[in-house]
Amino acid sequence: MAFGSADTDWQAIVALDAGPQAKPKSVEEAREAGKRHLVKQLGLVRHFLETHPADSRAAEASLRMASLEAALGMALGRQSQVDQAMRDLQVVERDKSVPLSIRAEAGFRRVSLLMQTFRGQEVERRRDLVAAARNFGARHPGDRRVARLLVEVATICDNDPELKRELLEEARRAAREEPLKRRIADDLRRLDLIGKPIAISFPTLQGAVFDTKSWRGKVGFLIFWSAESAPSILWIQEFRNALRQLPADRVGVATVALDEDAGLVKGVMGEIGIDGWPTACDGKGWQGELARSNGVNALPTVFVVDQRGVMRSANARNSFESWIRKLIFEKSGGG
């Protein structure tokens, strides 16, 4: 514990931002080292606030303490600690004596924590998340992070296209950075595809030509992925295993690999058992025509096409099973 001047104690706090110095030998050892480091950081920040309550950095210290409490609470699985940290951040955000930049940071961190806390129940708590993001924008209209928050919240609104479009349009008006503007444009481009007939064809790595027309009467999945993207490969393996439980004549699958090395793609396809899926790879990576014209900006991106050839979802990564049930039920007379 530091026991020096305010400057010395603050320097000790900032020095710990570099993280644990010892190199862990395992994932578990890294987790434990991370927890110990958080506890150490918390101790220094608490000491600073107790010893130098009138220091000009006290507000930032309060911000740090709440953030550290939240991080430790998540690491230890203590939701009550995370909830208290969010309340503490709200106190900092509402304190008019605190510099505006710190109040805005407290608000941003609180909304970010809210999103992390709701992982797995985004649909059920969507209204709260949307309200939190919009409230942040209302309180801090000039903050550069408003657009980013709105875009992130929009990702959980795929089954409510109207709300998703509203959020993206709000984000577009607030966006300043060109990369974020491009992401929003891509997201809106994908959204425009929903509810419309899809007509995509391409030469495949297997030497044939694929056309989405071949899916008529089936639920179709078009998967954008990369042989160099671990999340893509893991998702495809999960999806492939789920398909094994379904009749082959009810579902169609094709993929677009955003890679420059077609040989690598073929090798990975063989390894994960999808070498029979029609796959495009034009060697242009993210700049390929299929990716650009369809607004693809994340991997994997999963399009769902119904039995009539109409796009139903442009982001079914986490909902493909519910889409299969829904669309097969529709075809058998339920919709």
Cut 0.85: pTM above it:
no
Residue type, 58: A
Report percent pLDDT > 90 for the chain. Answer: 80
Give the pLDDT band of residue 1 (cuts 50, 70, 90). very low
Length of the chain, in residues: 335
Domain ranges of the chain: 6-193, 201-334
Q: How far apart are CA 143 and CA 174, in angstroms?
A: 9
Computed over every residue of the chain, the mean pLDDT equals: 92
Q: Which residues make beta-bridge pairs with 224?
A: 256, 301
CB atoms < 10 A from the CB of 85, how many?
23
What tokens appear for 119 in the block? Answer: 């992982």
Q: Which superfamily does CATH assign the domain made up of 201-334 to?
A: Glutaredoxin (3.40.30.10)
H/E stretch holding 250 reads none
- Mean pLDDT for 266-272 is 97
pLDDT of residue 118: 77
Check pLDDT > 80 for residue 293.
yes
Say whether the peptide bond before residue 300 is cis (omega within 30 degrees of 0): yes
Q: Which residues make beta-bridge pairs with 243?
A: none
The 10s digit of each residue's pLDDT in 192-229 is: 999 999 999 999 999 999 999 999 999 999 999 999 99
Q: How far apart are CA 246 and CA 233, in angstroms?
A: 21
DSSP 21: -
pLDDT of residue 317: 86
Instruction: Kindly provide the residue ranges of all beta strands, DSSP E only, lying in the chain, ordered along the sequence.
Output: 201-203, 209-211, 219-225, 251-257, 279-280, 301-305, 311-313
pLDDT of residue 249: 84
Check pLDDT > 50 for residue 158.
yes
pLDDT of residue 2: 44
What tokens appear for 56 in the block? Answer: 């000009």
Q: Which of 35-49, 91-105, 145-159, 282-296 has the lowest mean pLDDT?
A: 145-159
Query: What CATH number is given for 6-193 in this structure?
Result: 1.25.40
- Mean pLDDT for 281-303 is 96
Handedness of CA 80, 85, 90, 92 (dihedral sign): positive
Residue type, 228: E
Check if the beta carbon of residue 61 is closer than 8 Å to that of residue 11.
no
Burial class (CB in 10 A: 0-12, 13-18, 19+), 293: exposed
- Report the chain's C-alpha Rg in angstroms: 24
Q: How far apart are CA 204 and CA 290, in angstroms?
A: 13
Check pLDDT > 90 for residue 79.
yes
Enumerate residues 6+ apart whose C-beta is below 8 A from 268: 227, 233
Q: How far is CA 130 from the centre of its chain?
A: 15
Q: How far apart are CA 266 and CA 53, in angstroms?
A: 62
Q: How far apart are the first and last CA of the chain?
A: 66
Q: What Cα–Cα distance (Å) separates residue 205 from each residue in 57, 70, 190?
A: 60, 48, 25
